[in-house]
Amino acid sequence: MKLEGGCYCGAVRYVAEGEPMMKAQCHCRECQYISGGSPNMFAVMPVAGFSYTKGAPKTFTRGDIEQPVTREFCTECGTHLATLRPGLPAVILKVGTLDDPGLFGTPQLAIFTVDKQPFHHIPEGMPSFERMPQR
Ligand SMILES: [Zn+2]
Ligand SMILES: [Zn+2]
């Protein structure tokens, strides 16, 4: 599939082609800052099919934790677009930045439920994991 999207102001645009490697919701404390408090909905897309087509994001990587992820966001409007995880040849796309978030369908699993808040919703029957699922 081909996913297109960008930030809130339109300064940064991307295209992601390929099949999603994972579609999930993340309940971790870090994602709560970026999502507004709810679980973060994301699609993991192969890095080979991903590129920025307009503008370029600023990146942020925490220096105080081991194996930090890199988060990419628009310098103009602050929209967080994507996350890169060390060693993972993929782009973790935030579903809210898709031109048509409906293309996401539904998440397949919930991760980092260790940080789940009482107001977070996990659909009944959805596989959920305290941290990352074992490979
Ligand atoms: Zn923007
Ligand atoms: Zn998270």
Question: What confidence tens digit (pLDDT) does each residue in 66-119 have?
Answer: 999 999 999 999 999 999 999 999 999 999 999 999 999 999 999 999 999 999
Summarize the confidence of residues 126-133 as an average pLDDT. 95
Quick check: is 12 in a domain? yes
Ligand approaching nearest to the C-alpha of 14: 1
CA of 29 to the centre of ligand 2 (A): 7
Sequence-distant contacts of 28-33: CB under 8 A, at least 24 apart: 28/111, 28/112, 28/114, 28/115, 29/115, 31/112, 32/115, 32/117
**For residue 103, what are the domain limits?**
2-115
Quick check: is 43 in a domain? yes
**pLDDT single digits (tens) 111-127:** 999 999 999 999 999 99
Q: Is the pLDDT of residue 2 over 80?
A: yes
CATH code (residue 67): 2.170.150.70
Quick check: is 7 in a domain? yes
Ligand approaching nearest to the C-alpha of 80: 1
**pLDDT single digits (tens) 25-49:** 999 999 999 999 999 999 999 999 9
CA of 99 to the centre of ligand 2 (A): 22
d(CA 80, CA 60): 10
Report the predicted TM-score, pTM, of the whole model to 2 decimal places.
0.93
CA of 24 to the centre of ligand 2 (A): 10
CA of 9 to the centre of ligand 1 (A): 4
d(CA 6, CA 15): 9
CA of 60 to the centre of ligand 2 (A): 15
Quick check: is 97 in a domain? yes
